[in-house]
Amino acid sequence: MSSTVRRVLVTGANRGFGATIVKVFDRAGWDVVGVSREVVGRERGRWVHWDVTDDDVSPLTGSLGDEPLDLLINNAGTGTPGTPLDGVVVSTLLDVCDVNVGGVIRATRAVLPNLRRTKQPIVINVSSRLGSIHDQAAGRYRGFGTSYAYRIAKAAQNMATTCLAEELAPDVRVWAVHPGRLATGMGRADAATDPAVAAQRLLDLVRGPEKRSPLFLDLENGELPW
Residue 2 lies inside a defined structural domain of this protein: no
Residue 1 lies inside a defined structural domain of this protein: no
The whole domain housing 99 covers 7-223
Residue 182 lies inside a defined structural domain of this protein: yes
Task: Give the span between the Cα atoms of 169 and 122, in whole angstroms.
Answer: 11
Task: Give the span between the Cα atoms of 163 and 161, in whole angstroms.
Answer: 5
Residue 151 lies inside a defined structural domain of this protein: yes
Task: Give the span between the Cα atoms of 100 and 57, in whole angstroms.
Answer: 16
Residue 3 pLDDT > 80, yes or no? no
Specify the DSSP element, H or E, that contains 17: helix 16-27
Into how many domains does the chain fold?
1
Residue 38 lies inside a defined structural domain of this protein: yes
Q: What percent of the chain has pLDDT over 90?
A: 87
Average pLDDT, the chain: 93
In the chain, the N- to C-terminal Cα span, in Å, equals: 39
Q: What is the CATH number of the domain that holds 132?
A: 3.40.50.720
**CA dist 72 → 56, 69, 92, 119, 189 (Å):** 18, 7, 27, 14, 29
Question: pLDDT tens digits for 107-125?
Answer: 999 999 999 999 999 999 9
pLDDT of amino acid 2: 44
